Amino acid sequence: MGATTFWLLEQELKRRANIDKAAQEKLSYDEMTVEQLKQVAKDKGISGYYNMKRETLLEKLKG
């Protein structure tokens, strides 16, 4: 693959990431799956998110 192909793939990944973030913002935390909550916690820099249960994730994210 050439440099152009890698650039196109990188742009597509960025576009998908932006869509995923926009979709997360539209959902309330109560409507999200555990995996979605973990991704939001990861994005917000909450440590130990990967071991948390749904209730704990909701508490941490709602602050």
Rounded to whole angstroms, how far apart are CA atoms 19 and 34? 19
Q: Please indicate, yes or no, whether the overall pTM of this predicted structure exceeds 0.85.
A: no
Which single residue is written with the structure tokens 């990431």? 17
Helices (H) and strands (E) in the chain, counts: 3, 0
Tokens 């050439």 sit on residue: 2
For the chain, 63 residues long, give each residue's pLDDT as a single digit of tens. Answer: 678 887 888 887 877 776 566 566 667 888 889 998 999 899 889 999 999 999 999 999 888
- The tokens describing 42, both together, are 């990861």
Expressed as residue numbers, the domain containing 16 is 3-62
pLDDT at residue 24, as a whole number? 61
Total domains present in the chain: 1
